[in-house]
Every structure is written in C-alpha cells, then in structure tokens.
Chain A
C-alpha cells in the first residue's frame, strides 16, 4: 500500500527546482507516475514529499532544427512522441519504438523524462537515444549541465542525476547522411518490456558499400543499456557479408553481460543478443544503402 505523503505541484521549472530545494531531505519527483507508483505501492519507495512536474508545460515540447536536431522536453508523453508527424519524418525509429512500448494507457501517462530517469535497463528509449548519439540537459537550482546518454545510465535504476536535479530535455543530433537507425526488442507478449533489445545505427561510406560508422546499443543485457563497442569496431570499414553479421552477433553476445531471471536464462539472453544484432545490423545496413542510390 502507498504510504501517506505530502503532494506538491509545480507549474514551471523554476517552481519545481524551488520545491525540490526546499524539501531536499526527503522528496521524490513524480511525472506520469507509471514507474514510480509501482515502487510506492510495493513499499520500495516512500517519500515524504511528492513533487509533481507533470503540469510543467514548458517542458512539454518536440522541436526540430536542421542544425541542432530534435529536442524533446522531459514531460512530453510517449504517446505524443508516437503521434508526432515531425518525429515520424525525421526520426521514424522513435515512432516504431513507441508503438511497441507498453499499452496506450501507459503511453498516455508515461513521459520521456520519467522513462530515462527511472533508469530501467529494459527501457526502450535509452538504447535508441544512445544509438542516435543523444544527450540530456539536466538542471538543479544551482547549475545546468548537458551530458551524453552514454554517460547517463549507471546501474540498475540508477542514473547520474544528483540530488536536486531534474532532467529537462533530450537532444538528438540530426541523423547523418547515409545513416539508418533501427531498433527491436524481443519479448513474449506484445508491447511488454524487452527481454533483450538492440538499437543499431549504421553509417555507410560514399561508396554505399562499406561501413563508415556504427553505434550499437544493447538493452536489458547489463545493469544499464550498453554500447557494444567491440562489435562496432568490428563493423567499421567492413563490407556486409553473412560472415560479418555472424561475427558481429558473436562479439556482441560476448560483450553483453546479462543475468538470469524468471523470464530468461543468461544463456538464452546472450543468444538473443546475437540474433537481434545480426537482424538489426543487416536491416540498418540495407536501409542506409537504399539512401545512397
């Protein structure tokens, strides 16, 4: 059961940061509540003050700029991202990711900021944003800082957010030419959390044949989403072949560090990493190649 708490509502970023500052001994930020309320109901989190930022409208936006790329405000819901024509045009992979993220009810409430700050290694946006070379803007009453998503996740349900800080926005640079980004998760029932997920961004050289750059991210395979850097190295400079994909799959399953739980064994998770890597790299490669023509 949820323990009693004092509910405080912020309407602006400034108000939110003030409230947090005033109650820093014992508080928790709540946005859509989709993750936090579960923890509170299980008694795992019992804050004295709950600071609600869901109505902070200045963080509810999706903006695109050819130079800067895409900016998504922290209180933007999953559903808003999913239905945005702008996102569909510029970052279709995000729409695909959202369509498979939880139920519509959860997507209507859950926010991008809440999802990232919850720090669930099985979350979908994390790996995709990492593959897109994204960054986050974070602020406290004292300071504002920007970090790459590669630096953001630390451990199970732990991020670099310090006491007093909130996440303001996610920034995704424009997708480079001859680049495709794809994402898929493996789950047993549709729209459930992934048992393993893989995001792959492949950039081809001018020749349209060899790989110029690769960003490969694996979700749910370690305490936080991880970049499969060895796998990336293996791909860069190479031309696609069955053998290459096979090797990439093997390498990535080595790089992953999954643990067994009731949903899958460690071995099976490693196997899935291999399967998904092969599939995603091939898919991204083909899509990138199609752009070269």
Chain B
C-alpha cells in the first residue's frame, strides 16, 4: 500500500482566503466600462397567449438603450437534452405564449438598474389568458388544459425500469405493503442569484461572465440559441456562489444579457433579484409516489413496484433525468430481485422543476426508507437487520442497469448501529431514525451530445517546478478546485501549494461537462490523475538518466523528492530534475494531457457511494414541533480525498436536506409562489443545526482516482427519510408528506389518539 502525502490530509479550500478577504470576483462583482444594466419583464399569468407587445414607450424613456422580445431572437427551443430535440422545449424569451408565472417576455438594457426597472412598467403586453392547470394529477386527466401541442394529456416524459418477474414475486410474498407519498418542492437558495455580464464586440465575439456549474454547457447552449460558433463564445466563471443543480442550464440572465449585448455591442449585466430567483428559476421536482413492496416473513425483499407522477412545471428542463434517477434510486441501496418502475413527468403551469442536489434520489429515499421502517415494524424485525439482510454488496449487479464495484453499506450499518447502542436510552419524546442510501459518481449519459471527452485536464510543469493545472470542472463552493489540486499534487509528487490552478474559462480550459451529478471527483479527478501521471513520466525519464535504475518504473516522486522506489533515501530534488528536464527538451516546459469518459459502465454511473444516516430528534407532543439533536452519518465515498471537504459537504447537505424534510416548501396559489423571499421561505441556519458526525467508511473504488467516489449529492439523500423515521420512533406516527411540519405531526397524533380511543 502506498502511503499518501496529500490524499486524506485535511486541506483548507484553496480559494478560501480569496473568498473570506473579499478578493474573489464573482459575476456579481464584474463591472466593465460602458456597461449597461438589464432587467427582465416576466409573465404575471400562469398560462396566456401573447397577442402583442408594445415596447415603444419603454424605448422612449431616457436612459433606455434597447428593449428586446422573443421576436428579436432566433426562437430556438433549447435544452440540455440536445440529442432528443423533442425534449428541448424552452425558448427563454417567450414569443407566442407563456406557460408559467415569471416566464420572461421581454428584456431591457438601460444606463442603470432603476431606469431599466422603470422601463419594464412601460412595456405593454397584451395577453389572452388561457385556462391553466397546476397539479400533475389534474393535468394528466383527459380534458385538462394542454400546455404543449405535442404532449397529449400533458405527459412530457415517461420512464420505465423493470427487472425480474414482479407479478410472480408478489405472489410469493408473505407481506405486501402499499403507500402513497408526496414529496414537496424546494428552492436551491444559492447565495449568488443567477447573473451574467455579456459583452459582444463587433468582431463577432461574445464573452459572458456568469455564475454557472458548467461553463462548457453554457457556451454550447448559447451557440445553439444565438447562432454563433461555439468558439466565438467565451464563458468565464471563476467563482460561482452556489449551484446545487440550479446553474447548469441556460438561464434568463445569460440569454437576455447576450441578446441585448449583441444588439448594442456593449456589455450588459443582469442580476436576478431574490424574488425572481424563487419564482422563475428552476426548483426541486415535487413527486407523488406510489410504492408497493412484497417481502418474506423474515424480511427478505422480493418485489417492489413504484409509480411516480412528477410536477414538471412548464418545460422539460433537467426533469427527464430526475424522473429516471428517482426510479433507479428507488431500488437503492438494496437487492430487490424484482422491480418495476413507471414514472410520468407531467407538464403544469408552474415554474419548471429540474435538477437539485440529489436529482430525484432524496425523494426516492424518503419514500423508500419510510416504508421500510413501516414494514420492519409490522413484521417485528429490527430496522437495522432488515436493511442489512437486503443490503447491496460489492460486485452486485443491478439487473440491466449497473454494476456495483465497491460497496461499504454493511459496514456503514454496523457503525450506525453501534452509535445507536452507545446512545443508550433516549429521553421521552426522542427518536432516532435511520435511512440508508446510495448515489452515483457522475452520469454516463451523453444527452448533451458532446463529441469531447467527459473530462479533460492539461498540465504544464514550469522551470521552477511550479505546476499549471488547467481543468474544465467548476468549483461552486463544493471544493473541487481543492480536490483537483490534491489529486494533481499527490500523483505528481509535489505539494498543493505548488499547483497553480486555471479553471472557469472556456478559452483557457479543456472541456469538462461541469459540476452536476456528483461527477467531478471521479471524472475530472481521473483526467487530472492521468495528466499528472503523464507529466511525471516525462520528468522521470530525465531522472532515470542520472539515477540509472533497472527500469524507469523503479522511480517515483513523493513530496518533491525523486527517488528509487526500493531505496527512497537515494534521490534527487524534484526541482533540479525539472530544470534539467526542461533544458533537455529544447527549453520546452513539460506538458501533459489527461481525459476520462466512462465506457461500459451500465446505464447510470461508473461508481456508487453508499451510506447510512441516523437522525435523532425530539418531538413536542403539545405542538408537534421537531428539534434536531444529532445527525450521524457513515458514508462510503471510497478513498476520502479531503476529510475537511467531506465534513463541509456533509454539514451543508444536512442543512439542505433536513430543511427539505421539515421546513422548506414552495406553496402556491394558482401557480403563484407564495413565499418568494427569505422572510417567508425558511431555511435551516447554524442555530438549528444538530450535532453532526461523519464516520468515514473507506472502500476502494477501482474506477475512481485513488479509489475515490462521490461525496456531494449522496449526502442529501437520507436526511428527510431519517427524520421521518425519527418522528415515527418518537411518536409512533408516520408522516408521508413532505415537509413534515408540526401541524402535520399534530394532526397525525390526533388521528392516532382518536383511533386508539375507538
């Protein structure tokens, strides 16, 4: 076993100092000479035809430089599912009709924000309101108002997954349980709202600074809708103030600022307000879940059937992926010999629903884990035992879908079981709930239709030994810059401070598909490792000449020391070798490339993380109020790269996922979101955070760099389910509707008391 010098050591975020000292320039901070400010006019109707837009008064206002509507665009229906044109259905600036409240209909550029906003009031849009539908179970009915011509009964996408003989297996079951669940929506609540500064110059080139999870996607999508060549567009995203799934699609700030800038040949900045952010960007997909499970008396899982209707909102967005992934992860992290899933994504006249951290899996995990506790209770089986009995294991094949290469689930269960035992007897009205989960380490799907490798990296080693690392991945706060620097430093044999990172710029960085689907550590990490290995090989060639080992493979570099593997004390300074090597290469720096695209890795992902979480909560029986006490997570992310990063990811995930479990929601009235501000939309703050502990369970993932897997989204999967189960343990009632509010708990307690009285 090689000892690591960098991997698995706690390294502070390489961007940390720039951020806390305010030096980090976010898109919000970008100000260019002659820059104009843009604002977007949005539909007040959930469903309406646009009969006419009169912009003349707005144009006449002093200070207004341009007003654009859908008529000024190419009218391209765009989306990330570029390989499937029928799923690209969003124009961003609507031309003929609007399908949700907040849909952009016009945009203004003016000398300042005030003027731009004033101009919005002067744009006259003549609408013909159409009847609208808001709930998927209504929208799917015969005769419901239709949003899109080609979508009969408003069905946008359907997904079917099946293995084994489900019907036969149910016949064998001793116990069958059916439940309905309802999973609510959730807003991403990034600290930095969606924003962009677009700068088009008469030479035909466009530069866009923006807050995004994937500069490559934005560049390509802009080229699709603007009619420019991909490489006449440069997208810069050095710092991104949070993403969580909300920032890898093309958004209204990026599109409208580009259209305006192309018209004016001047830079235009658009920053969405918090209200716009809530009302008119995408959000977590609400789901109605039907689950039927059949098990043997001893708790062995036999068959599961899941049916899901998701509230799609007005457009496809990344909802098709959420629909597939929720179906796939509904079977996780267990061995179900037979499984059938049918998912329906239904268009509704509400803000589109899409990707959000966990991508459909938190919903699946909440329903699945709640039901498993009910089954265990019914059968009188210990809830850890039933999970252990059916747990996935290394080399298990999910029929037709995936091969699990590494899996530490059983160990995670052991660790959490120990913790619960140590916790001993709980105070009254306390409960500990558990949930087991898994997640993918990046997707193998290429719906974007890119000819490039999924991840690439370039390394240049300079004469002083400093390393320029060019990566396409996007750090949005999750720490991938640090992770990549560490992987590079470890493989090359230098220190993290020797790495100069270049990222967030399509002109300078190789292509990477971006930070979503928990793909960076594994995919970008593999590309970086490959590039570093190649650079090292070049350096060692020169060292070999001096040190004459039997074969070059007998040499290695560790912590800036080039040495013989067998006799580490015999070596040369890395810096000296690099200098000589460059001299020997006709004065050319050492340059190496690396890339990664998954091959033959099933339908979903090259690798899967696993884990078990225990949430301890107390419930006030008078008010139904839940207080989080402890949250303990045993997470198998393969080889941990940065323990500090893991802890950060975990705590952030708990805040977000517990919020989903019992606080956050986007209630609506006729398609209008009722809490589009941070006074009424509550999120967990530090004061509500429970004690959190992460217990690393190390496995080795053959497909990952140094054996690593994801530790990003997976951590958001268990908490709502674990919380629901904690409430179940504390009160004896199970809430099947998110968020688990005090009011719902109280009503459930009353129902139960009534039943018991009878």
> Using a CB–CB distance below 8 Å, which chain A residues touch chain B?
1, 3-4, 38, 42, 186, 188-192, 262-265, 268, 271-272, 275
B118 → chain A, closest Cβ, in Å? 9
A271 → chain B, closest Cβ, in Å? 7
Of the candidates A3, A38, A275, which one forms a contact with B679 in the assembled complex, judged by CB atoms under 8 Å apart?
A: A38
> What CA separation (Å) do A262 and B741 show in the bound complex?
12
Of the candidates A4, A42, A189, which one forms a contact with B688 in the assembled complex, judged by CB atoms under 8 Å apart?
A: A189
- A186: chain B residues at CB < 8 Å are 623, 625
A262–B667 touching, CB < 8 Å: yes
Query: How big is chain B's contact interface, by range?
Result: 20 to 34
B625–A262 touching, CB < 8 Å: no
> What CA separation (Å) do A1 and B687 show in the bound complex?
30
A1–B117 touching, CB < 8 Å: yes
Of the candidates A42, A188, A190, A192, which one forms a contact with B742 in the assembled complex, judged by CB atoms under 8 Å apart?
A: A188
Given contacts A188-B625, A189-B663, A262-B675, contact A268 B684 (CB under 8 A): no
B114–A190 touching, CB < 8 Å: no
Q: Report which residue of A188, A191, A192, A263 has the largest number of chain B beta carbons within 10 angstroms of its beta carbon.
A: A188
A262–B680 touching, CB < 8 Å: yes
- A271: chain B residues at CB < 8 Å are 623, 746
> What CA separation (Å) do A191 and B682 show in the bound complex?
12
A191–B622 touching, CB < 8 Å: no
A245 → chain B, closest Cβ, in Å? 12
A4–B114 touching, CB < 8 Å: yes
A167 → chain B, closest Cβ, in Å? 24
Given contacts A3-B114, A275-B623, contact A268 B680 (CB under 8 A): no
A189 → chain B, closest Cβ, in Å? 5
Q: Which residue of A lies closest to B665 (CB)?
A: A262
Contact of B423 with A by CB under 8 A: no
Contact of B743 with A by CB under 8 A: yes
A275–B622 touching, CB < 8 Å: yes
Of the candidates A1, A191, A263, A268, which one forms a contact with B114 in the assembled complex, judged by CB atoms under 8 Å apart?
A: A1
- A190: chain B residues at CB < 8 Å are 685, 687-688
> What CA separation (Å) do A164 and B739 show in the bound complex?
46
Contact of B113 with A by CB under 8 A: yes
> What CA separation (Å) do A271 and B687 show in the bound complex?
26
Q: Which residue of B lies closest to A278 (CB)?
A: B622
> What CA separation (Å) do A189 and B625 show in the bound complex?
10
- B273: chain A residues at CB < 8 Å are 1
A1–B113 touching, CB < 8 Å: yes
A36 → chain B, closest Cβ, in Å? 14
> What CA separation (Å) do A268 and B679 show in the bound complex?
20
B620 → chain A, closest Cβ, in Å? 9
Given contacts A190-B688, A264-B743, contact A272 B623 (CB under 8 A): yes
Within 8 A of A (CB), among B646-683: 662-663, 667, 674-675, 677, 679-680, 682
B321 → chain A, closest Cβ, in Å? 30
> What CA separation (Å) do A42 and B742 show in the bound complex?
30
B687–A191 touching, CB < 8 Å: yes
Of the candidates B623, B684, B741, which one forms a contact with A189 in the assembled complex, judged by CB atoms under 8 Å apart?
A: B684
> What CA separation (Å) do A234 and B225 show in the bound complex?
71
- A42: chain B residues at CB < 8 Å are 275, 677
Of the candidates B622, B623, B674, B688, which one forms a contact with A262 in the assembled complex, judged by CB atoms under 8 Å apart?
A: B674
> What CA separation (Å) do A275 and B749 show in the bound complex?
15
B682–A192 touching, CB < 8 Å: yes
17 A–B pairs (Cβ distance < 8 Å), ordered by A: A3-B114, A4-B114, A186-B623, A186-B625, A188-B682, A188-B742, A189-B684, A189-B687, A190-B685, A192-B682, A262-B667, A262-B674, A265-B743, A268-B742, A272-B623, A275-B622, A275-B623
- A192: chain B residues at CB < 8 Å are 682
- A3: chain B residues at CB < 8 Å are 114
- A188: chain B residues at CB < 8 Å are 625, 662-663, 682, 741-742
Q: Report which residue of A186, A189, A264, A271 has the largest number of chain B beta carbons within 10 angstroms of its beta carbon.
A: A189
- B117: chain A residues at CB < 8 Å are 1
Q: Which residue of A lies closest to B675 (CB)?
A: A262
> What CA separation (Å) do A245 and B228 show in the bound complex?
74
Within 8 A of A (CB), among B614-668: 622-623, 625, 662-663, 667
Q: Which residue of A lies closest to B274 (CB)?
A: A41
> What CA separation (Å) do A180 and B687 show in the bound complex?
29
B685–A189 touching, CB < 8 Å: yes
B176 → chain A, closest Cβ, in Å? 35
Q: Which residue of B lies closest to A265 (CB)?
A: B743
> What CA separation (Å) do A263 and B687 show in the bound complex?
20
A2 → chain B, closest Cβ, in Å? 9
A-B complex: 8 closest residue pairs judged by Cβ atoms:
A190-B687, A268-B743, A275-B622, A262-B667, A262-B674, A189-B688, A189-B682, A1-B117
- B677: chain A residues at CB < 8 Å are 42
A190 → chain B, closest Cβ, in Å? 4
- A272: chain B residues at CB < 8 Å are 623
Within 8 A of A (CB), among B701-758: 741-743, 746
B742 → chain A, closest Cβ, in Å? 7
- A4: chain B residues at CB < 8 Å are 114
> What CA separation (Å) do A1 and B113 show in the bound complex?
8
- B684: chain A residues at CB < 8 Å are 189
> What CA separation (Å) do A272 and B667 show in the bound complex?
22
> What CA separation (Å) do A134 and B687 show in the bound complex?
32
> What CA separation (Å) do A264 and B746 show in the bound complex?
12
B559 → chain A, closest Cβ, in Å? 44
Q: Which residue of B lies closest to A196 (CB)?
A: B623
Within 8 A of A (CB), among B110-154: 113-114, 117
A275 → chain B, closest Cβ, in Å? 5
Q: Which residue of B lies closest to A4 (CB)?
A: B114
- A268: chain B residues at CB < 8 Å are 742-743, 746
- B622: chain A residues at CB < 8 Å are 275
B97 → chain A, closest Cβ, in Å? 28
> What CA separation (Å) do A289 and B684 show in the bound complex?
39
> What CA separation (Å) do A190 and B677 show in the bound complex?
18
B161 → chain A, closest Cβ, in Å? 36
Q: Which residue of A lies closest to B673 (CB)?
A: A262
Q: Which residue of A lies closest to B685 (CB)?
A: A189
> What CA separation (Å) do A275 and B679 show in the bound complex?
25
- A38: chain B residues at CB < 8 Å are 679
Q: Which residue of B lies closest to A38 (CB)?
A: B679
A237 → chain B, closest Cβ, in Å? 27
Q: Report which residue of B623, B667, B688 has the largest number of chain A beta carbons within 10 angstroms of its beta carbon.
A: B623
- B680: chain A residues at CB < 8 Å are 262-263
A108 → chain B, closest Cβ, in Å? 16
A-facing mask of B465-476, CB < 8 A → 1, else 0?
Answer: 000000000000
> What CA separation (Å) do A200 and B688 show in the bound complex?
27
- B667: chain A residues at CB < 8 Å are 262
> What CA separation (Å) do A188 and B662 show in the bound complex?
9
Q: Which residue of B lies closest to A267 (CB)?
A: B743
Q: Which residue of A lies closest to B624 (CB)?
A: A268
B469 → chain A, closest Cβ, in Å? 39
Q: Which residue of A lies closest to B622 (CB)?
A: A275
Q: Which residue of B lies closest to A271 (CB)?
A: B746
A175 → chain B, closest Cβ, in Å? 28
> What CA separation (Å) do A189 and B659 show in the bound complex?
10
> What CA separation (Å) do A271 and B679 show in the bound complex?
24
- A262: chain B residues at CB < 8 Å are 667, 674-675, 680
Q: Report which residue of B114, B622, B675, B679 has the largest number of chain A beta carbons within 10 angstroms of its beta carbon.
A: B622
Q: Report which residue of A1, A38, A192, A262 has the largest number of chain B beta carbons within 10 angstroms of its beta carbon.
A: A262
B622 → chain A, closest Cβ, in Å? 5
> What CA separation (Å) do A268 and B741 show in the bound complex?
11
> What CA separation (Å) do A275 and B621 show in the bound complex?
11
> What CA separation (Å) do A190 and B667 show in the bound complex?
22
A101 → chain B, closest Cβ, in Å? 13
> What CA separation (Å) do A54 and B667 show in the bound complex?
37
In the complex, besides A188-B741, A189-B663, A268-B746, 19 extra interface pairs with C-beta distance below 8 angstroms are A3-B114, A4-B114, A38-B679, A42-B275, A42-B677, A188-B662, A188-B682, A188-B742, A189-B685, A189-B688, A190-B687, A262-B674, A262-B675, A263-B680, A264-B743, A265-B743, A268-B742, A268-B743, A275-B622
- B682: chain A residues at CB < 8 Å are 188-189, 192
